[in-house]
Amino acid sequence: MPQQIAVVTGAGSGVGRAVAVELAAAGWLPVLAGRREEPLRGTAELCAAAGPGGGAVVVPTDVTDPAAVDALFAAAAEPCGRVDLLFNNAGTFGAPAAVDELDIAEWRAVVDLNLTGAFLCARAAFRRMKAQDPRGGRIINNGSISAHVPRPHSIAYTATKHAVTGLTKSLSLDGRPYRIACGQIDIGNAATEMTAAMSTGVRQADGRIAVEPTMDVADVARTVRHMAELPLEANVQFATVMATAMPYIGRG
């Protein structure tokens, strides 16, 4: 059986890196996308050390650039003539700001990466999965706890993550005739570079600054792997993986 190909965006650090290494350990060939080549090379080294996947393919990519995204998926399809999985993970919090103080350039930067970038990657994956033989594949979008409830001063991030849920639902519906499954993982307080502030204190809904519990990012990676390895006749539509004691249930 040919090796399965997984495109992982935002693969240079954090959740993307952890997922790529987990998939490599399970025998997948991860295709690593991100803006900076050096961190991607670091992830590729970890993938090579992880086990039977045999490393990874590094493709520096700006996911907000349609031509770059098309080139990414052309490179991903080269080893085996197909793409089996997209983990649509690239994203940014953006600078925290009150609604009336948020600069329009900052808003557009967050929307461009978190939403337009996710759409461009999903579109390119969909095209490949629809046309390849055998037809089909899986897209897993990285949502967030913020796809359900906001944090203070996070309107751009929260709006885009709510929009990612709509993207997931539309892809699920439109992918049915082509054996393209789409699900979403909503992550709360995985310990990564992006969430380092959790250990020193972040703003709460009542205005307090408080330390929040985190969880090992490996627990997220194992969940993504489970979603990825289901047969295409089965799908985890939405999964929430979070630090057990974080302020989400009853937030505010």
Cα–Cα distance between 21 and 244 in angstroms, integer?
Answer: 24
Candidates 139, 125, 33; CA nearest to 82 is 125
Matching residue, tokens 């052309």: 74
Distances (CA, A) of 77 to 6, 31, 53: 10, 10, 16
Residue 245 carries which side chain, given as an amino acid letter? A
pLDDT of residue 218: 96
Helices 66-77, 118-131: axis angle to 10 degrees equals 40
pLDDT of residue 52: 82
User: Could you tell me if residue 206 is inside a domain?
Assistant: yes
**Paired sense of beta strands 29-34 and 5-9, if any:** parallel
Model confidence at 87: pLDDT above 70: yes
Count how many domains the chain has: 1
User: Could you tell me if residue 249 is inside a domain?
Assistant: no
User: Could you tell me if residue 252 is inside a domain?
Assistant: no
Model confidence at 120: pLDDT above 80: yes
pLDDT of residue 69: 98
Task: Mark 134-154 as b/e (b = at least 16 C-beta within 10 Å).
Answer: eebbbbbbbbbbbbbebbebb
pLDDT of residue 1: 61
Segment 194-212 mean pLDDT: 84
The answer to whether residue 157 is catalytic is yes
pLDDT of residue 207: 86
Model confidence at 252: pLDDT above 60: no
pLDDT of residue 194: 75
Range of the structural domain that residue 232 is part of = 5-242
pLDDT of residue 55: 87
Q: Residues 6 or more apart from 249 whose CB is under 8 A from it?
A: none
Q: Residues 6 or more apart from 175 whose CB is under 8 A from it?
A: 126, 129, 139, 181, 182
Q: Please give the model's pTM, rounded to 2 decimal places.
A: 0.94
Model confidence at 77: pLDDT above 60: yes
Segment 176-199 mean pLDDT: 90
Model confidence at 71: pLDDT above 60: yes
Average pLDDT over the chain, rounded to whole? 94
User: Could you tell me if residue 248 is inside a domain?
Assistant: no
Cα–Cα distance between 122 and 87 in angstroms, integer?
Answer: 9
Q: Which of 73, 119, 126, 157 is catalytic?
A: 157
User: Could you tell me if residue 104 is inside a domain?
Assistant: yes
User: Could you tell me if residue 247 is inside a domain?
Assistant: no
User: The CATH number of the domain where 77 resides is what?
Assistant: 3.40.50.720
**Full DSSP string of 43-56:** HHHHHHHHSTT---
Least confident of 4-13, 107-116, 148-157, 198-207: 198-207
User: Could you tell me if residue 87 is inside a domain?
Assistant: yes
Q: Residues 6 or more apart from 36 whose CB is under 8 A from it?
A: 12, 60
Confidence of residue 251 (pLDDT cuts 50, 70, 90): low
81: left (phi over 0), alpha (psi -120 to 50) or beta: left
pLDDT of residue 34: 97
Cα–Cα distance between 223 and 22 in angstroms, integer?
Answer: 10
Segment 214-222 mean pLDDT: 95
pLDDT of residue 54: 73
User: Could you tell me if residue 95 is inside a domain?
Assistant: yes
Model confidence at 250: pLDDT above 90: no
Confidence of residue 123 (pLDDT cuts 50, 70, 90): very high
1-41 pLDDT, tens per residue?
679 999 999 999 999 999 999 999 999 999 999 999 999 99
Specify the 3-state DSSP secondary structure of 64: coil
